[in-house]
Amino acid sequence: MRIFSGIQPTGRKHLGNYIGAISQYVSSQDRGEGLFCIVDLHAITVPYDPAELRERLYDTTAILLAAGLDPARCTIFRQSDVGEHTELTWLLSSVTELGRLQRMHQFRDKELAQRELVSAGLLLYPVLQAADVLAYRAAEVPVGEDQREHLELMRDVARRFNARYGGGEEVLVVPEHRIPEVGARIMDLQDPTRKMSTTGSGESGTVYVLDEPKAIEKKLAGAVTDSGSEVRRAPDKPGITNLIEILAAVRGSEPDAVQDEFAQARYGEFKAAVAAEVVGYLAPVRERYEELRADVPALESILEEGAGHARAMASETLADVRERMGVGAPRATPARGTSGTVDTVPG
């Protein structure tokens, strides 16, 4: 089974991203054929700095590798290296309803937030995202709940394409959304009623994957707790509940087990234990990251190899799509029995 996910090129990955997304990518390597695409073309739909984009792309590549994505077992690549994504975006734009794009939440939010130009790229963002996945006929897309609308759109685009051009066949696979259960619950340390994010309550509420141990300890020591003194999950104890969930996620155990273990502990002791565990969880990632990030040529060669694999898969889909849409020269059919040689178009 093919599993596809797209990752924004930023070095600011936080604990919620790590537990909810990145660690799921790592475990998906055992379930199927993973494709992990760093989406630099999505990143240019809002104002950005070109030199900075390159750096953040390397940061992200190094984080993914440090987390345990293994280029021998999955495909890690840069979106802009595989031209099929943009070509498919254009082809799919003709089966995408304009009004639907204009109503997408992310478009409307960003449109409102934008002081400069609202680019057409921002509007087409979801079509590019659909092309990312559909180009590989991926069955599963592990991304957060916040991507629901994008997933629905890509499913509809695939269905409409198949209905219009498929002649009863599933030319494009309609992918499933796989929402991680755990990461979705990692909340901001300063405001545990909202999800941990890069834009939340600020630095002190968010633990970054690349934070130094000292910084992690400080953030956890300063995490808001609730009234009362019991380490127990409860609706009126969002702060402690969050810390219990974090500890369970990091240990790979159950919140109930954490709760039992710390039933007699005071808040301070409990927070220190959570900090120690989070440091132990992230420190090896940060160390591997430092090493990997220092060798840009090695990162480039991993990305290049990944792009080669990806292109081979995507170009097959594109050949089908072009053929079905009647675009370009009719497809040359491979001569039977002759390994891989292709007939030239009869003259």
Residue at shortest CB range from ligand TRP: 6
By CB under 6 A, tell whether 147 contacts ligand TRP.
Answer: yes
- Among 120, 141, 128, 134, residue whose Cα is nearest residue 165: 134
Distances (CA, A) of 233 to 78, 155, 182, 194, 296: 41, 37, 15, 16, 45
Interacting residue with ligand TRP among 92, 141, 216, 307 (CB under 6 A):
141
- Alpha carbon 313 to its chain centroid, in Å, reads 20
- Among 119, 131, 36, residue whose Cα is nearest residue 83: 131
Burial of residue 211, with CB atoms counted within 10 A of its CB: 0-12 exposed, 13-18 middle, 19 or more buried: buried
Site for ligand TRP in 20-59 (CB under 6 A): 39, 42
By CB under 6 A, tell whether 285 contacts ligand TRP.
Answer: no
Q: Which stretch binds ligand TRP (CB under 6 A): 11-19, 126-134, 259-267, 324-332?
A: 126-134
Q: d(Cα 322, Cα 135) in Å, to the nearest integer?
A: 12
Site for ligand TRP in 170-229 (CB under 6 A): none
Select 42 or 155, whichever has its Cβ closest to ligand TRP. Answer: 42
By CB under 6 A, tell whether 6 contacts ligand TRP.
Answer: yes
Q: d(Cα 325, Cα 332) in Å, to the nearest integer?
A: 15
Task: State the Rg of the chain over Cα.
Answer: 23
Select 9 or 238, whichever has its Cβ closest to ligand TRP. Answer: 9
By CB under 6 A, tell whether 64 contacts ligand TRP.
Answer: no
Interacting residue with ligand TRP among 87, 132, 188, 217 (CB under 6 A):
132
Strand-strand pairing, 176-178 and 140-142? parallel
Residue 20 CB, shortest distance to ligand TRP, in Å, is 11
**Residues at the site binding ligand TRP, with contacts judged by CB under 6 A:** 4-6, 8, 39, 42, 129, 132-133, 141, 143, 147, 150
